[in-house]
Amino acid sequence: MTQPLHQDNSNLSPRPWDVVLGGGTNSPSTAIPKTGDLVLGFMPSEYQKNIFDWLVSGENSCVINAVPGSGKTTTLVKGSTYISRHLKTKFLVFNKHIAQELKNKLPGHISASTIHSLGFSSLLRTFGSSSEIQGNKYNQLVTQYLKNRKISNQNTRKLLIQLVKFVQLTLTDYADKEAIKQLCNHYGIPIVKDWDFWQIAVRRILENGINLIWTTISFEDMIWLPNVLNLPVATADFLCVDEAQDLNKAQLEIVLKAHNQGARGIFVGDVNQAIMGFSAADHCSISHIINRTNAIQLPLSICYRCPLSHIELANKIYPVIQPHPGAIKGKIEKINKKEIPNYARGGDLIICRCFYPLISVYLDLVSSGIPAQVRNRDIGKQLLNLLGLILENENYNIELTPNQFTSKLTNWYEEQKAAMLANEAPTMVIVALHDKINTLNSIYKGNNCSDTASLVESINDLCKVEPIFAVYLTTIHGAKGLEAKRVFHLRPDLVPHSLAKLDWEKQQENNLLFVALTRAKETLFLCK
C-alpha cells in the first residue's frame, strides 16, 4: 500500500494524487524534485492521477493517448518525480533543443537525450570513439559514386541523396528493387524508371557507408546502423518517449531494442494526430508499440487549449476530447479569404491543407504592409528541387511569360503523373506533387516574374525571418505542435481531400482536419 507523503521513508514516492509543493535535490526521498520543479498548487486531473499512479505502482509499459492541448509535456515532467531515484531513467525526444529544455525541468537523476544519441552510443560502444560525425557523409558518397560513373546530372544527385535517406529511415531492404520502387511511390520521391540503376546505386552507396563506420558516422547512421547491424543499445530501467505517433521505423526499432533489453516504457502520443507519414514517419507506430510491448493504454483527454465550440467541431471527427472546467465558448467565424488582410494581426496563424492557396494570401498581406512569414521550414528547398527537375539541365535564368511558364509546368506534370500512375503510385502522392506545381505557378504569377531567376528569388523571400509579431502561414502539416489565439483555416473544403480513397489515406485526411480544428485558443476563422 502506498504511504502518505508526510511519512519519513526514503524508499517511498508520494501518493500520485497528492499535491507536491516543492523540494530540493538534496532530499533522500526518491520523489522530491529539484527546488521549483513543480509549480506550487499543481492539482492533477483524474487522468493525470491515473498516470502518476501507474508510474508509482504499475508494471511493464504504458501508452498515453494524449489529445491536443492536454499538457502532455507537463504531465511527463510532473510524473517524472514519481519515478524511483533508483531506476535509471531516460527521456527520449526528437531534437537537442527539446532535450536541453527537459534537462532544465527534470529531476537531476533523470537524463534527457535524442533517440539518435541512444543509437550513437550503441555505435561508440561497438566501434570506439574514433569515428567523426559527418552530416554530409552520404552526400559525399553519392557525389563520388556518380563521378566515378561520369554522371554529372544534379537532379540525379539530389534524387539519389533523398532516396538513400528514406531507405535508411524506413529500414527498407536496399537489395530489394521492388521495395525501393514501393518506397518511392509511397513517399512521392519523383523516380519513375530505371529501377535497376537506382537499386544498385543505393546498395553500393550504403555498403560504402557501412565500410566507413570506423571513420565517419552520419546522423542517419545513428539510427540505421544499430538496426541493420543488429547492435544492442544502451540499457535503461525506464524510458519516456514523447510524440510516439511520429517515430519513423528506424527510431521505433531503436526504442524497441531498449525495451526488449528489459526497459519499461511510457510512450506518449496521439494516433489521431499522426500526420507526418509523408516525411518517413510510421503512421502505425503507436499500434506497433502496443502490440510489441503489451502496453496498457491510459487516456489524457482534457484539453486546456481549445474553446468549447472548437472542441465540439473536433469531436465530430474523433469524440475523444473533454474541455477543461474553465474553457471559454470561443468564436467560429466564416469569412472570405480576400478579407483576411482586414482581420489578420501579428501572432495570428493561417493554415491550409495545401500550400498553393497560402501564396495569394501571403502576397495580399505583404502588399497591405502586414509582416508575414511562411513557417514550413523546408518548402523553399522542396520547390527549388522541383524546379530543377522541371528545368532539367537548363539554367535558372530562362525568360518565360506567365502563360509559357504555366505550359511548361503542365507538360512536365502530365508526363510525371502518367508515369506515376503506371507505377501505381498512391493518388495522394500525385495530389502532393500537383500542390507544389500549383505553388510554383502561384509564386511566378503572383510576383509578376518574367524569368526563372526572379522566381528563385521570390521562393527564397518566402522563408525570410520576419519580426516576432508577424502573421504566420503554414500547411496543416507544418502547424503540428503550434497554437495561436486566432487561427485562420484557409480553404477548409480541401480537407478531408476528396481524392483520398485508401483507408490509410482517409485516416490521414481526418487527422489533418482534427489537427486544424485544435490549434486556436480563442477564435477560429473559416476562410472560403
Beta bridge partners of 322: 302
Query: How far apart are the C-alpha atoms of 157 and 161, rounded to whole Å?
Result: 6
Nine cell digits for residue 124:
561508440
Query: How far apart are the C-alpha atoms of 146 and 127, rounded to whole Å?
Result: 29
Spell out a b/e string for 235-269, using b for 16 or more CB atoms within 10 Å of the CB, else e.
ebebbbbbbbbbbbbbbbbbbbbbbeeebbbbbbb
Per CATH, the number for 309-317+329-376+465-527 is 3.40.50.300
- The secondary structure element, H or E, covering residue 64 is strand 62-66
Stretches in the chain below the pLDDT threshold 70: 1-42, 278, 393-395, 466-467
Pick the closest to residue 432 from 370, 381, 395, 475 (CA basis): 475
Structural contact between residues 518 and 69, judged by C-beta atoms closer than 8 angstroms: yes
Cell 486544424 belongs to: 516
Query: How far apart are the C-alpha atoms of 113 and 98, rounded to whole Å?
Result: 9
Beta bridge partners of 302: 322
Query: How far apart are the C-alpha atoms of 282 and 274, rounded to whole Å?
Result: 9
List the Cα angle 422/428/429 in 5-degree steps.
Answer: 60
Structural contact between residues 242 and 131, judged by C-beta atoms closer than 8 angstroms: no
Nine cell digits for residue 28:
533522500
Query: Counting Cβ atoms within 10 Å, is residue 395 exposed (0-12), middle (13-18) or buried (19+)?
Result: exposed
Query: Counting Cβ atoms within 10 Å, is residue 8 exposed (0-12), middle (13-18) or buried (19+)?
Result: exposed
- DSSP characters over 141-157: HHHHHHHHTT---HHHH
Spell out a b/e string for 501-516, using b for 16 or more CB atoms within 10 Å of the CB, else e.
eeeebebbbbbbbbbb
Give the single-character DSSP code of 480: T
Cell 514516492 belongs to: 13
Query: How far apart are the C-alpha atoms of 222 and 133, rounded to whole Å?
Result: 10
Per CATH, the number for 35-125+231-303 is 3.40.50.300
Beta strands at 238-241 and 110-114: parallel, antiparallel or unpaired: unpaired
Query: How far apart are the C-alpha atoms of 499 and 505, rounded to whole Å?
Result: 9
Pick the closest to residue 399 from 336, 343, 476, 452 (CA basis): 452
Per domain, the residue ranges of the chain are 35-125+231-303, 132-212, 309-317+329-376+465-527, 378-462
pTM exceeds 0.75 for this model: yes
Structural contact between residues 280 and 166, judged by C-beta atoms closer than 8 angstroms: yes
Query: How far apart are the C-alpha atoms of 90 and 50, rounded to whole Å?
Result: 21
Q: What is the pLDDT of residue 103?
A: 87
Structural contact between residues 19 and 45, judged by C-beta atoms closer than 8 angstroms: no
For residue 151, give every residue at least 6 positions away whose Cβ sits within 8 Å of its Cβ, in sequence order, or none: none
Q: What is the pLDDT of residue 395?
A: 65
Query: How far apart are the C-alpha atoms of 350 and 327, rounded to whole Å?
Result: 23
Query: How far apart are the C-alpha atoms of 506 and 422, rounded to whole Å?
Result: 22
